[in-house]
Structure 1
Amino acid sequence: MHPVSLIALFAASASASVTPRQSAVNQNVIPKSFGVTAGEGKDQVQVGSCTGANNKLIPCFCPPAPDSPEFLSKLSKALTDGFIFSKEQVALPITLDKFNDDSDTSVETTKLRATAMIQVMQNFNMTTQGVGCPGVAVPALGKMQQTGILARGLSGLGNNGN
C-alpha cells in the first residue's frame, strides 16, 4: 500500500471513532414551565419573597425561566462536570449525554433529569451550597421527580398553573 494511502486510512479511521462531545442542554426534555413565575405574589410582610407552590414563600428571583440562558448554562456545566461544586459535594445523577437523549423517555431517566434540574436550582448561585431556589419554586420538576413523567399539564401547580 502506498504510504500516503496508509496515512489517509489511519486519519479516516481515527476521525470516524471520535464522536462530538455535547456541550448544550437539549431543551426538549425540559418542561416549558416550572409551574411558578418569578416575581409573582409579592409578600407584603417578608420583603423580597414571593409566592411559590402551596403558597410557600420563595425568593422573588425564583425560578428562572426554563429557557433562561443562565439556567441552561449552569445546568449544562453541572451535567458536563458531573458535579455542582466538587466531587465531595452535590454529585449529579445523570450525564449530559444521557440527559439530552430525548429518545429515552423512561420513568427512571425522567426522574434523574428532574433531580439534576432541582439540584442546579437549589444551588443556583453555584458558589455556596444550598443558595438558590427551593423546590416549591419548581413544582413541575417535583412532579417529574415523583412520577417520572415530563410535566406538560401544570393545572393546579405553583402560582401560574399553566
Structure 2
Amino acid sequence: MHPVSLIALLTASASASASPRQSAPVNQNVIPKTFGVIAGEGKDKIQIGSCLGANNALIPCYCPPAPDSPEFLTKLAKALVDGFIFSKAQVAVPITLAKFNDESDRSAETNKLRATAMIEVMQNFNMTTQGVGCPGVSVPILGMMQQTGIVARGFGGLGNGGR
C-alpha cells in the first residue's frame, strides 16, 4: 500500500471513530427518555404517510425521532452551539449548549428553555427550510415540559403511547 494511502486511511478511521462523540455533545441526562409519541404508530389508512400524534392529530410517520437519535442530538447540538437554527432573526435558540448541558440546573425555567430548544429543532428538523419537520403534537412530553418546566418520566396519557 502506498504510504499516502495508508495515512489517508488512518486519518479517515480516526475521524470516523471520533465523530460520534464530537457530533453529539449534548447531555442526554437532561432530555426526557420519551417524547410521548412513537414514530410510525397509528398509521392512517386515508392519509397515507401520516400517523397518530398527540390528541389524535395526524403527523408524519417519521416523527418524532427518538430522544437518543444521533441525528436529533447532532442537530440539537449544532443549534445550541450556533445559537440559532437558520438566522438570528428567524429561529433563535433560547439557551446555550453549556446551560442546556448543566445537569445540576433542574430549575423549571431552565427545563422550559431546554424544551423550547428541542421543540424548535424538531419543528425545523431538515435545517434547510423553516418549519419543515415534526409538529409539536409529535412531542407532547416536550410541550408539557415547555409549559410547566417538569420533565415527565412516562407517557402520562399523552401521545400515542404505542397504541
TM-score range, shorter chain: 0.7 to 0.9
Measured in 2, the distance between the counterparts of 1:85 and 1:113 equals 18
| Shift in Å, 1:42 | 0.4
Measured in 2, the distance between the counterparts of 1:40 and 1:136 equals 14
SS in structure 1 at match of 2:142: helix
| Shift in Å, 1:154 | 2.0
The runs of at least 4 consecutive aligned structure 1 residues that moved more than 4 Å come to none
Paired position in structure 2 for 1:90: 91
Measured in 2, the distance between the counterparts of 1:133 and 1:39 equals 13
Measured in 2, the distance between the counterparts of 1:127 and 1:100 equals 25
Measured in 1, the distance between the counterparts of 2:95 and 2:47 equals 36
Measured in 2, the distance between the counterparts of 1:153 and 1:47 equals 29
TM-score where L is the length of structure 2: 0.84
Measured in 1, the distance between the counterparts of 2:148 and 2:101 equals 19
Paired position in structure 2 for 1:19: none
Q: Sequence identity, in percent? A: 80
Q: After superposition, what is the alpha-carbon deviation per residue over 1:46-99, rounded to whole angstroms, capped at 9, x for unaligned?
A: 010000001000000000000000000000000000000112210000000000
Q: Which amino acid aligns with 1:135?
A: G
Equivalent residues in 2 for 1:46-57, closer than 5 Å = 46-57=47-58
SS in structure 2 at match of 1:62: coil
Say which is worse superposed, 148-157 or 32-41, in terms of deviation.
148-157
Total equivalences in the alignment = 141
Check if 1:116 corresponds to 2:117.
yes
Residues 63, 138 of structure 2: 8 Å contact kept: yes
Q: After superposition, what is the alpha-carbon deviation per residue over 1:2-34, rounded to whole angstroms, capped at 9, x for unaligned?
A: xxxxxxxxxxxxxxxxxxxxx710000000000
SS in structure 2 at match of 1:58: strand
Q: Which has the larger radius of gyration?
A: 1
Check if 1:76 corresponds to 2:77.
yes
Measured in 2, the distance between the counterparts of 1:53 and 1:87 equals 30
Measured in 2, the distance between the counterparts of 1:97 and 1:57 equals 35
Equivalent residues in 2 for 1:139-154, closer than 5 Å = 139-154=140-155
TM-score where L is the length of structure 1: 0.84
SS in structure 1 at match of 2:137: helix
Measured in 2, the distance between the counterparts of 1:26 and 1:127 equals 25
Where do 5+ consecutive residues of structure 2 fail to align?
A: 1-23
Equivalent residues in 2 for 1:1-150, closer than 5 Å = 24-150=25-151
